[in-house]
Structure 1
Amino acid sequence: MDTALVIGGTRFIGRHLVDDLLEHDYDVTLFTRGTSGNPFVDDDRVDHIEGDRTNETALEAAATTVDPDAVFDCVAYHPKDVRAATTIFADCDAYVYVSSGAAYGREEIPKREGETPLHECTLEQATDDSFETYGNRKAEGDRAVFAAAEDGVRAMAVRPPIVYGPHDHTERLDWWIDRVNRFDRVVVPGDGTNLRHRVYVEDVASALRIVAERGAAGEAYNVGDRRLVTLEEMIDLIAESLNRVAHSATEKANDVELVRAGPRELAAGDIELDDYPLYRTYPHVLSTAKLAALDWESTSLETAMDRSVADHLESDRDGSENGPEREAEERVLGILETL
């Protein structure tokens, strides 16, 4: 395969996907609305077609103009859009849909492709835009991929959990990096052993390309960090990375004290466990063995965190809208000091 069309390729996952495709000598065309800015505007290796991916006429025009070997659909949030795309790009060598680990409808450890049931999706949910139906809509998008494959389309899905890394506009990890960077005492919700699968964005990008090149039609592939860490271990990784990235070898940052707080202690700040970004009560773990069988490899956690921290420090992101205010946490810390 030589040519790729990336539907939505200027913000986060798509941006890293374009970089990965260029590194592997693809001719790349973006299809976006043009509202988020284009980091590749000065790169003559990347063409750009402006249009709304929910407009089938515009998508058909892009298909005719580019005639891509591979199509990567990064911004399909409704099942009808996946069905339309798999029809429009039916003759391509590969159509890869960015699904989500949220598509799984049962809590089990780990969640496996083809074994763990997916969410059901009603007609009402399929057209909804709320966060509550996100998993339902992604699951129905997967089923659209499977149906297309049965009709002879080489369509596949990739399911990431929470994605982190440079240019992350969600700022969920930024909230934690900011806390560790600015304070010597960091509140950890619960007992610190909360386990929520995450995945480094460059690994999602390479997974999408590898699935397009080597995946099987009608299959879904989980992608996630090959080594999982608890929330407390993630905070330790951030602290170690800040020492490596932000401080010289002779001027290490102060050690960060992690202070665990349960529901009773958090109540002093009118905080709940779920108010913390990246916290999840029940462990969310995806099996990545199926993707690894395609010779996909995961970036080391230390390297991934160093790159994420370096990007955070160069940005103006602090994630402040994602978690509790520090003033509320100070009340919690005050209560813990008296116990």
Structure 2
Amino acid sequence: MTTTRRDLFKLGALAAAAAALPSFASSADEARPVARAARPLDILILGGTGFTGPFQVDYALRRGHRVTLFNRGQRPSPKWPGEVEQLNGDRNTGDLASLKGRKWDVCVDNPTSLPFWVRDAGKVLKGNVGHYLFISTISVYADGSRPGITEDAPLAQYKGKDAMAETQESLRADVGNLYGPLKALSEAEARRQFGERVTIVRPGYIVGPRDETDRFTYWPHRVAQGGEILVPGDGADPIQIIDGRDLGEWMIRLAEARTYGVFNACGPDYRLGMDAMLHGCQAVTGGGMTLTHVPPSFLEEHKVGLPIWVPSKDSEYAGYGAVSNARAIAAGLTFRPLAITVADLLAWFRGLPAERQAKLRAGISREKEAELLKAWHARGA
């Protein structure tokens, strides 16, 4: 089947829960000079060892800021380029004692999908942080069918009994109906707790090194293998992705500038079609490939979904591939070239254990792809 709204919510939740790995930047990234900020900040990062958090930490330290992490302490921390304070607690149980009586210039909230997490953080941090940055998602929008979704579009409505009673277990049990609405309510709770000094960042697909979901990884990995590749749609459908490093570093710059408001963090800053993305991957990987396009109806018939892509026509999900990022770009969001993202992602992925590389967590197997290609060509296509 084609990607559904439930899939989009589920994949967004997977990205938020991606496991941490010690290596978080390419050697080129580590060597890249970073200018010091005009004024050092005391930054509290809730989470910080997941997907984008380590990029925030690394960039903040290289900018000269002081960083404190708050999490359960259950994931291995990367080797930071500076000193990082670690505070432990558990937002599931309301254990935020280590945050009491402390002050920070900025709080970055990375992992929250539940409104009560924001409420409880507000009880402890209100009046003790000058700026609250919240990572949300484009899944908060009520209508994903129209391209050009702006930050002012209507948000998904919660239809449950008590949003503050929702837990990670109830979210996992009904992620398709709860993920977007609960994120929207978490945004509202952030404003309720911290007033106007709030920045809401709504990413789409976050990609690059450390992406444990394999949603984007499937495509450069498949292109590197060469041969005939099954491609959904006509090749022109828009693709929107953002390198996790671009997202993480921009959030630190938003904190430095005290930039408040709501922003769609989707990239790139030009229209990227499906075929253009695949040829961009090939420019990095080399080798030959042929692209065989199949319509959404064929995928639906065979109950197959392919990651990242959503139909751009006659689909209630069409807008998710063409969200407006104009406001974010005006606020300083920049994007690495696709080639750098692909090269660094593949270098990171190829450093994983062989058994992990052999079992991608998204996409289809080569055997399934061959079966589908055979069925498609049997139709005389």
Query: Which range, TM-score by smaller chain?
Result: 0.7 to 0.9
Q: Does structure 2 retain, via aligned residues, the 8 Å contact 1:271–1:324?
A: no
Letter of the structure 2 residue corresponding to residue 280 of structure 1: V
Partner of 2:84: 46
Match of 1:314 among 325, 347, 351: 351
Partner of 1:185: 228
Match of 2:367 among 308, 317, 327: 327
Letter of the structure 1 residue corresponding to residue 50 of structure 2: R
Partner of 1:37: 76
Partner of 2:130: 93
Letter of the structure 2 residue corresponding to residue 261 of structure 1: V
TM-score, normalising length: structure 2: 0.77
- Counterpart Cα distance in 1 of 2:332 and 2:372: 47
Partner of 2:295: 262
Tell me whether 1:144 sits opposite 2:189 in the alignment: yes
Partner of 1:71: 107
Q: Does structure 1 retain, via aligned residues, the 8 Å contact 2:44–2:67?
A: yes
Compute the displacement of 1:216 (Å): 4.5
Deviations 1:235-261 (A, max 9, x none): 222111223xxxxxxxxxx21111112
Q: How many residues in Structure 1 have an aligned counterpart in Structure 2?
A: 319
Q: Does structure 2 retain, via aligned residues, the 8 Å contact 1:166–1:311?
A: yes
Deviations 1:28-47 (A, max 9, x none): 1211212222113x765112
Deviates most, 25-34 or 162-171: 25-34
Q: Does structure 2 retain, via aligned residues, the 8 Å contact 1:7–1:30?
A: yes
Letter of the structure 1 residue corresponding to residue 362 of structure 2: N
Letter of the structure 2 residue corresponding to residue 313 of structure 1: R
Q: How does 1:295-306 map to 2 (within 5 A)?
A: 295-306=332-343
Q: How does 1:282-301 map to 2 (within 5 A)?
A: 282-284=318-320, 285-301=322-338
Q: Does structure 2 retain, via aligned residues, the 8 Å contact 1:89–1:95?
A: no
Letter of the structure 2 residue corresponding to residue 181 of structure 1: A
Compute the displacement of 1:70 (Å): 1.0
| Cα separation, partners in 2 of 1:327 and 1:267, compared to 1, 3 Å | farther
Tell me whether 1:159 sits opposite 2:195 in the alignment: no
| Cα separation, partners in 2 of 1:135 and 1:333, compared to 1, 3 Å | same
Letter of the structure 1 residue corresponding to residue 69 of structure 2: L
- Counterpart Cα distance in 2 of 1:201 and 1:138: 19
Compute the displacement of 1:198 (Å): 1.5
Deviations 1:261-281 (A, max 9, x none): 22565478x343xx1111223
Partner of 1:82: 118
Letter of the structure 2 residue corresponding to residue 110 of structure 1: G
Q: How does 1:195-274 map to 2 (within 5 A)?
A: 195-217=238-260, 219-225=261-267, 226-243=269-286, 254-263=287-296, 265-266=298-299, 270-272=302-304
Deviates most, 79-88 or 89-98: 79-88
Q: State the secondary structure of the residue aligned to 2:149.
A: coil
Partner of 2:37: none
- Counterpart Cα distance in 2 of 1:216 and 1:267: 43
Q: Does structure 1 retain, via aligned residues, the 8 Å contact 2:62–2:81?
A: no
Deviations 1:271-313 (A, max 9, x none): 43xx111122314122222222233322222222222222222
Compute the displacement of 1:183 (Å): 3.6
Q: Does structure 2 retain, via aligned residues, the 8 Å contact 1:27–1:46?
A: yes
Partner of 1:250: none
Letter of the structure 2 residue corresponding to residue 75 of structure 1: P
- Counterpart Cα distance in 2 of 1:233 and 1:286: 18
Q: Does structure 2 retain, via aligned residues, the 8 Å contact 1:159–1:222?
A: yes
- Counterpart Cα distance in 2 of 1:73 and 1:330: 43
Q: Does structure 2 retain, via aligned residues, the 8 Å contact 1:31–1:53?
A: no
